[in-house]
């Protein structure tokens, strides 16, 4: 098991280099003059300033030199210090957020992480449970209901479902509101008596024993979480059901039943364990892919996370912000793949030897 994990960890840097090369190649669509404006906060006033920026950051040098400078930064001709560099945490300046890209990522990450955490548990738990239950009740009413739910849930666009929730629960019933917190509670978390341990409101509210703030934050999370859960549960349900039905037709299942093993043991020890291997792939990538739904969901519900920031950056043609968000998403996807590979080995020991 240890050797398997080490092999996967050794592959990780190679994959990340490939990802960064691809992302940096996207930036090369712009010419040196256009890219020079991405490295400064204020637009250059004349051609001499533009030429100085191009020389400083080596934007007229070969691709591999520019890529290396983009990774580790360049030396300042005046001070001799190295400035910039993705590996140094310098992703450029966000014009839409009016702050460094790395600061925008760090400031908005807890909100998106909180939304993803509250969505993750029902997505995995409910999606897998529904898929298993539907397969065990094949062609029965429960299975028919689950299939209809999966088709409807996966077919409806995210923004349409989100707008329907807003129409019903906010405009008509006024049960839940968009945003992250009510105005009064937004001021409460800024007071000295409230400690922001994680910058995730629900968790910090519990740690501060402020259950009123916790309940208010939950009310604002209901609609965005429900939007993400319905769409992703539908996908996991379909994959789990198909995988379970395929395993139930295997010869080893027939043999186990012929030996007189209880049906519960056959399902839990044989069918479900093997059926969950492909489900782990979809589950891991689904959790990493929540960022795609998060962009739409956060924008519709005015939720101040990475998704709404990325949408605003795209609308304002903020290239560096979009590249920073893309880089963050790519690293998240690579790490999710690594976790899925490890879970493979836990579920099926034969994979460790491959």
Q: Would you place residue 321 in the very low, low, confident or very high pLDDT band (cuts 50, 70, 90)?
A: confident
Give 130 or 277, the one with higher predicted confidence.
130
Query: How many angstroms separate the CA atoms of 273 and 156, rounded?
Result: 31
pTM for this predicted structure: 0.80
Is the pLDDT at 20 greater than 70, yes or no? yes
pLDDT at 215: 92
Q: Which pLDDT tens digit goes with each residue over 70-83?
A: 787 776 656 656 66
Mean pLDDT lowest among 40-44, 159-163, 338-342, 344-348: 40-44
- Residue 223 half-sphere exposure toward CB, CA atoms < 13 A: 32
Contact 305, 73 (CB under 8 A): no
Q: How far apart, in Å, do the first and last CA atoms of the chain sit?
A: 11
**Phi, psi torsion values for 82, nearest 5 degrees:** -85, 130
Is the pLDDT at 56 greater than 80, yes or no? no
Contact 142, 347 (CB under 8 A): no
Q: Which pLDDT tens digit goes with each residue over 237-279?
A: 888 888 888 888 888 877 877 887 787 787 877 777 778 777 7
For residue 258, give the H/E element and its range: helix 251-258
Please give the average per-residue pLDDT across 93-106, as a whole number: 81
Please give the average per-residue pLDDT across 71-97, as a whole number: 71
Could you identify the residue written with the tokens 């479900």?
Answer: 272
Please give the average per-residue pLDDT across 170-185, as a whole number: 86
Is the pLDDT at 43 greater than 60, yes or no? no
Is the pLDDT at 45 greater than 70, yes or no? no
């Amino acid at each position: 098991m240890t050797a398997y994990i080490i092999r996967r960890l050794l592959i990780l840097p190679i994959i990340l280099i490939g990802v960064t090369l691809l992302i940096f190649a996207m930036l090369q669509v712009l010419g040196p003059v256009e890219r020079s404006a991405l490295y400064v906060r204020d637009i250059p006033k004349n051609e001499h300033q533009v030429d100085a920026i191009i020389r400083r950051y080596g934007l007229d040098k070969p691709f591999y030199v520019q890529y290396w400078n983009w990774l580790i930064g360049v030396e300042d001709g005046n001070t001799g210090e190295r400035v910039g560099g993705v590996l140094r945490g310098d992703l450029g300046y966000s014009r839409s957020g009016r702050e460094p890209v790395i600061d925008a990522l760090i400031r908005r990450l807890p909100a998106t992480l909180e939304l993803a955490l509250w969505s993750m548990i029902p997505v995995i738990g409910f999606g897998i449970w529904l898929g298993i239950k539907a397969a065990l009740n094949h062609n029965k009413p429960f299975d028919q209901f689950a299939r209809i739910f999966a088709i409807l849930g996966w077919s409806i666009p995210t923004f349409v479902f989100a707008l329907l929730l807003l129409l019903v629960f906010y405009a008509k019933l006024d049960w839940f509101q968009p945003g992250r917190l009510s105005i009064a509670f937004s001021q409460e978390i800024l007071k000295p008596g409230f400690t922001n341990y994680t910058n995730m409101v629900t968790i910090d509210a519990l740690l501060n024993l402020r259950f009123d703030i916790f309940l208010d934050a939950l009310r604002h999370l209901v609609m965005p979480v429900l939007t993400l859960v319905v769409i992703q549960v539908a996908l996991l349900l379909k994959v789990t059901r198909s995988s379970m039905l395929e395993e139930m037709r295997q010869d080893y299942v027939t043999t186990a039943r012929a030996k007189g093993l209880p049906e519960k043991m056959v399902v839990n020890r044989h069918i479900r364990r093997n059926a969950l291997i492909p489900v782990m792939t979809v589950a891991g990538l689904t959790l990493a892919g929540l960022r795609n739904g998060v962009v739409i969901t956060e924008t519709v519900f005015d939720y101040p996370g990475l998704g709404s920031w990325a949408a605003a950056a795209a609308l304002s043609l903020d290239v560096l912000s979009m590249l920073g968000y893309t880089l963050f998403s790519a690293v998240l996807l690579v790490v999710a793949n690594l976790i899925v590979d490890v879970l493979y080995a836990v579920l099926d020991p034969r994979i460790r030897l491959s």
